[in-house]
A and B are shown apart, each in its own frame.
Chain A
Amino acid sequence: MSEAAKAEGQAKPAEEPKLSPAELKKRAKAEKQARRAAQKDQQGGAGEAPAVNGRREEDRGQKQQDQKPKDGQQKGQQPQQQQKQAKQTAQSDGKHERSGSQHQNMPVRPKSVQPSEAKEQRETKQVELFSHLCTQPRRQDITGAHKDVHPTVAATGFQMSNYDICGSSARCVAMLLAFKEVIQAYALPKGKAFAMHFTPHYLSPQIDFLKSCRPISESMGNAIRYLKKIIGELDPDMQEQKVKEYLCEEIDRFIHERITVTDQAIAELASGQIKNGSVVLTYAKSAIVEKTILQAHAQGAQFRVIVVDSRPLFEGKQLAISLMTAGLDVEYLPFSGLAHAVKEATLLLLGAHSMLSNGRLQSRIGTASVAMQAHKAHIPVIVCCESVKFSGKVALDSIVLNEVAPSEELLLQKPTATMQPPSDQKANDDEEDEGKLRSLHDWKEIRGLQILNLMYDVTPAEYIRMVICEYGNVPPSSVPAVHRLANEGM
């Protein structure tokens, strides 16, 4: 699938010529107008539709007005949705302009209301508590993407949304590698400074595209911040080719220093915690925990590993296979077996999505429960985390900062004749007479049924005994200090 996307991505920028600065300016203006119009629409309704947007805009406003009574609770969703619509229309407008037409009026197609209606229905499926996180579905194709999105970035984005590339560090590395290609493919327009043009006009659309595939992780954010910083500090006299070389070298250095070598250092440090006779409990899959365990195994420690795993990603299965292949004694439990797992464990090793500034750990959903159970069983909870994942953000619960994955991931495979348990069989037989047995796959048709598939949760700092990063073993309270040292001073 990503191959096709890649091809598509490649085709798209090729057929679109570069915009002149004047055109770009015009487009930005149109975009702004559209946004403003949309906002006014939202507030004022039909009557106050701005004159610039003409009659059609008014029509649209009217239609939305009609819809309003229906939305009710989803009101909060509307502005963003409209904004997006407006953006799309603005983009198409931009294309129109390029093809010669110089209309001030935005050619808003009446049919653009249709998708909004479809979306509205979808939104009743959103869990209200998390509606701030469900702003838009993950991008699955290139439609509507910025024309400059580099094919490698597109491919990387799709791999991320499919979990082919999964894990905070892996995504960060993949992004940086894609950016290297982006930098190489970039052509500096005449009369522009690299730093002034590249970041806002070329890099930003790439980042936006990645964001639309899956919200970016803290490590990616830190890497982007770093990249922007070194671009901003570029010597303006440096030649374009030199700049590119320098940036690529810097990216390589970043990956090497902040991730590759760091991982080794952390694995070295953390493997010291695994002693002979230890029973290491771990949850889902973390590259760095895997490395730590393998390292301890290579150093000759005799220990056992318990892998606890959860739906829907089953990342722990990969970890179990990898450790099993290395010759370790592995026990694998579903999430429900957690209470059983902590009984035997002597050490809990966790990976991180991000370490928050208040010492809390943001990691794969379920980590908090594992840490809680381990804490209750008086098992040390150790987090292995590169400093690139340390964040300046804080969170008190798992609701504000989170990511909602598509609910469809939680559906079981469509039951086939062989897989179906006998109980369902009978239910089926009975129901077929009545003709109304539904499965969870029909969840969208069932009013009031919602499926929530969160990606992360936040583990309270008091459960965490130690955080192992490349600066050493620190308590969770030292996270902001390390963050300042590592990410803000770079």
Chain B
Amino acid sequence: MPTSKVGTTPSLPNFLKSLKHNDIETSIEAFISLLKRRLVRGSRPCAIATVNLLLRVVGEERIKDAHKLIERIRDVGRRLVAAQPREMAVGNVVRRVLEVVRERAEADQDAAAGSEGSTTSPTTPTELTPSSGAHALPKDLQIRAHGSAHGEKPTSNGVSDATAQRPALASTNTSYAGQAPSATSLFSILQHPTTASGGRSPYATPPGDNQSASSKSSSRRGEEAADAKGGEKLDIKAEVITGIIELQNELEDVDDEIASYALDHIHSNEIVLTHTSSQTVQKFLMTAARKRKFTVVHAEAYPNDHEATHATIVNGGRKGGDEDALGAGGDERWKPLTSMGITVILIPDSAVFALMSRINKVILAPHTVLANGSLLAGAGASTIALAAKTHHVPVVVLSGVYKLSPVYPFDTDELIEYGDPVKVVGFEEGRLVQGVDVVNPAYDWVDSDFVDLYITNLGAHAPSYLYRIIADHYRKEDTVLT
């Protein structure tokens, strides 16, 4: 985890700090580069960064209707996911935000439909094509490429795009299209407090001025169309922002919520095996340790996570970068399990099978949970899960809902990331480096058959039930972001 405090170092805390004063395009680019350079890795940091970024995107954008907002978020999401497809938490958070927007929009729509009948003639649904989404990306890229110069191309593209999108807009929001509050009041209400500095950037689009005349006029038309209708839709953006902040809070509290189930699952004098230095698992065990005495066998996850594991065992841990983002300053840390009178036995990964016959429960922390209840976790997890299955030891997976991904693992190989081989064979062993293929898989795929229980912040579920939770949190139409 990048943790240096030097202002220029690209890292998660710095990124989150810079979010406040940088404009959106710069922030998106900064995050993309962090993802690409693997300076932000792990589900939690990625999720936190994404949710903060999307909060800014939604807050900053002068987008007044749900459909455009969805397109904008999808567009940003697409770029983020393309930057690091294996950090599925990014895509998950994007989908969650999209879900929030869709839900609010629908509620709004329902309310509007309930209060008044549809007054405008709706455009035919056939015009609502995914092509409008496809247009968004090139347009955005081109605008970025041309910068503030605003050459001919982006202008014309903007026109075509605006026209392509408008009917779609009208068709989704049939009930209120054509009657909406005035544009000025929308601007004043929806303006995010932090947008005051937005005008500085060449990429930002301040209201009205440096947009091309045609696209402006087209958007005006939309606004005017929206003007006429009632005030209930006025809050959609604010509602979305509330929804994102809720998501942000969920990310923060996820460990505590999962930990609150600890006493339901850990009994006295139990021997629990865990793996890697997961914060969630540590919190979970700490919560149980307050009431009960048990033994923890900790596999060290060499070579990718063993240092962090050792540090966690010896010193406890700290809550990751989100604290800095909120400006709370002091990071919340927790003591090691040993300080609570728990016996912790550190073993190398190879000893897992030998000890498994005495283990009562295996607790794993996934990197991502996939749609069919299988999961990706730190390398070695598959061996542990298989050994547990062999010995009929229950495997419990602690996962925040943000780790649940609607991606179905058709090809598990492509989901696995490979780490730095230097961690396996250092350069001091020149002969090996030269003549031997050194492979260091960072993650293992574990089939759902090997998992007995998932504990998420919503409760405990069988792996076979996860698809429902996924269906509750994501929309089908967002499963494929690209």
Which one of A179-187, A361-369, A382-390 is at the B interface? A361-369
Q: Is A412 a contact of B314 with CB atoms below 8 Å?
A: no
The B-contacting residues of A in range 433-490, CB under 8 angstroms, are: 436-440, 442-443, 446-454, 456-458
The answer, among B314, B347, B353, for a CB contact under 8 Å with A442, is B314
Which one of A156-164, A270-278, A289-297, A330-338 is at the B interface? A330-338
B242, CB-defined interface residue at 8 Å: no
A-side contacts of B307, CB under 8 Å:
412, 421, 423-424
B358 to chain A, nearest CB (A): 6
B189, CB-defined interface residue at 8 Å: no
A-side contacts of B386, CB under 8 Å:
369, 372-373, 376
Q: Is B350 a contact of A335 with CB atoms below 8 Å?
A: yes
The B-contacting residues of A in range 324-357, CB under 8 angstroms, are: 324-325, 329-340, 343
A-side contacts of B308, CB under 8 Å:
423
Cα–Cα, bound, A312→B300 (Å): 12
A320 to chain B, nearest CB (A): 5
The A-contacting residues of B in range 335-351, CB under 8 angstroms, are: 336-338, 341-351
Q: Is A331 a contact of B441 with CB atoms below 8 Å?
A: no
The answer, among B343, B349, B432, B435, for a CB contact under 8 Å with A450, is B343
B390 to chain A, nearest CB (A): 6
B-side contacts of A95, CB under 8 Å:
none
A82, CB-defined interface residue at 8 Å: no
Q: Is B351 a contact of A457 with CB atoms below 8 Å?
A: yes
Q: Is B354 a contact of A339 with CB atoms below 8 Å?
A: no
Q: Is A448 a contact of B338 with CB atoms below 8 Å?
A: yes
Q: Is A399 a contact of B345 with CB atoms below 8 Å?
A: no
B111, CB-defined interface residue at 8 Å: no
- Would you give 11 A-B contacts (Cβ < 8 Å), ordered by A? A330-B437, A331-B437, A332-B424, A334-B303, A335-B383, A337-B439, A339-B383, A369-B352, A376-B386, A399-B358, A423-B307
Q: Is A452 a contact of B358 with CB atoms below 8 Å?
A: no
Cα–Cα, bound, A347→B4 (Å): 47
Q: Is B380 a contact of A336 with CB atoms below 8 Å?
A: yes
Assuming the contacts A332-B425, A365-B354, A398-B354, asked whether A424 and B311 have C-beta atoms less than 8 A apart, the reply is yes
Residue of B nearest to A420 (CB): B307
Residue of B nearest to A415 (CB): B307
A-side contacts of B303, CB under 8 Å:
334, 336
> Please, what's the 1-or-0 string for B283-319, where 1 marks a CB less than 8 Å from any CB in chain A?
0000000000000000011111011101101110000
Q: A366-B349, A426-B4, A450-B343 are in contact. List 16 more A-B contacts (CB 8 A).
A: A307-B436, A310-B350, A324-B436, A332-B424, A337-B439, A338-B382, A340-B444, A369-B350, A372-B353, A372-B387, A402-B354, A424-B307, A449-B314, A449-B338, A451-B345, A452-B347
A-side contacts of B387, CB under 8 Å:
369, 372
Number of B interface residues in the complex (CB < 8 A): 62
The binding surface of chain B is classed by DSSP as: mixed
Q: Is A311 a contact of B348 with CB atoms below 8 Å?
A: yes
B230 to chain A, nearest CB (A): 53
B-side contacts of A446, CB under 8 Å:
314, 336, 338
Cα–Cα, bound, A421→B383 (Å): 27
B-side contacts of A457, CB under 8 Å:
350-351, 353-354
Cα–Cα, bound, A369→B389 (Å): 12
B1, CB-defined interface residue at 8 Å: yes
B411, CB-defined interface residue at 8 Å: no
Residue from B353, B416, B437 whose CB has the most chain A CB atoms within 10 Å: B353
Residue from B337, B342, B347, B431 whose CB has the most chain A CB atoms within 10 Å: B347
B156, CB-defined interface residue at 8 Å: no
B-side contacts of A364, CB under 8 Å:
350
Residue of B nearest to A421 (CB): B307
B15, CB-defined interface residue at 8 Å: no
The answer, among B2, B348, B383, for a CB contact under 8 Å with A338, is B383
Number of A interface residues in the complex (CB < 8 A): 64
Q: Is B432 a contact of A317 with CB atoms below 8 Å?
A: yes
Q: Is B435 a contact of A330 with CB atoms below 8 Å?
A: yes
A301, CB-defined interface residue at 8 Å: no
A422 to chain B, nearest CB (A): 7
Cα–Cα, bound, A143→B232 (Å): 89
The A-contacting residues of B in range 424-465, CB under 8 angstroms, are: 424-425, 429, 431-432, 435-441, 444-445
Q: Is B438 a contact of A332 with CB atoms below 8 Å?
A: yes
A129, CB-defined interface residue at 8 Å: yes
A321, CB-defined interface residue at 8 Å: yes
B429 to chain A, nearest CB (A): 7
A227, CB-defined interface residue at 8 Å: no
A80 to chain B, nearest CB (A): 22
Cα–Cα, bound, A20→B390 (Å): 59
Residue from B1, B345, B378 whose CB has the most chain A CB atoms within 10 Å: B345
The A-contacting residues of B in range 396-418, CB under 8 angstroms, are: 413, 416
The binding surface of chain A is classed by DSSP as: mixed
Residue from B304, B348, B354 whose CB has the most chain A CB atoms within 10 Å: B354
Q: Is B440 a contact of A366 with CB atoms below 8 Å?
A: no
A-side contacts of B441, CB under 8 Å:
333, 336-337, 339-340
A397, CB-defined interface residue at 8 Å: yes
A51, CB-defined interface residue at 8 Å: no
Residue of A nearest to B438 (CB): A332
Cα–Cα, bound, A411→B303 (Å): 13
B357, CB-defined interface residue at 8 Å: yes
Which 9 residue pairs are nearest across A and B when measured between Cβ atoms? Answer: A366-B350, A398-B354, A336-B379, A457-B354, A336-B380, A448-B338, A339-B382, A426-B3, A310-B350
A-side contacts of B2, CB under 8 Å:
422-423
Cα–Cα, bound, A438→B339 (Å): 13
Assuming the contacts A372-B387, A443-B314, asked whether A317 and B353 have C-beta atoms less than 8 A apart, the reply is no
The B-contacting residues of A in range 313-327, CB under 8 angstroms, are: 317, 320-321, 324-325
B14 to chain A, nearest CB (A): 13
Q: Is B314 a contact of A440 with CB atoms below 8 Å?
A: yes
Cα–Cα, bound, A364→B315 (Å): 31
A111 to chain B, nearest CB (A): 32
> Please, what's the 1-or-0 string for B357-384, where 1 marks a CB less than 8 Å from any CB in chain A?
1100000000000000000001110110
A-side contacts of B429, CB under 8 Å:
317
Cα–Cα, bound, A436→B306 (Å): 20
Q: Is A427 a contact of B353 with CB atoms below 8 Å?
A: no
A163 to chain B, nearest CB (A): 15
Cα–Cα, bound, A395→B435 (Å): 40
B303 to chain A, nearest CB (A): 5
A286 to chain B, nearest CB (A): 15
B273 to chain A, nearest CB (A): 12
Cα–Cα, bound, A422→B1 (Å): 8
Q: Is B314 a contact of A324 with CB atoms below 8 Å?
A: no
A410, CB-defined interface residue at 8 Å: yes
Cα–Cα, bound, A372→B439 (Å): 21
Q: Is B440 a contact of A427 with CB atoms below 8 Å?
A: no
A224, CB-defined interface residue at 8 Å: no
Q: Is B440 a contact of A337 with CB atoms below 8 Å?
A: yes
Residue of B nearest to A402 (CB): B354
Cα–Cα, bound, A317→B302 (Å): 16
Residue of A nearest to B317 (CB): A427
Residue of B nearest to A434 (CB): B333
Cα–Cα, bound, A423→B317 (Å): 12
The answer, among B313, B354, B438, B439, for a CB contact under 8 Å with A440, is B313
Q: Is B354 a contact of A312 with CB atoms below 8 Å?
A: no
Cα–Cα, bound, A452→B435 (Å): 33
Residue of B nearest to A368 (CB): B353
A-side contacts of B341, CB under 8 Å:
448
B-side contacts of A402, CB under 8 Å:
354
A-side contacts of B352, CB under 8 Å:
369
Cα–Cα, bound, A225→B345 (Å): 37
A388 to chain B, nearest CB (A): 24
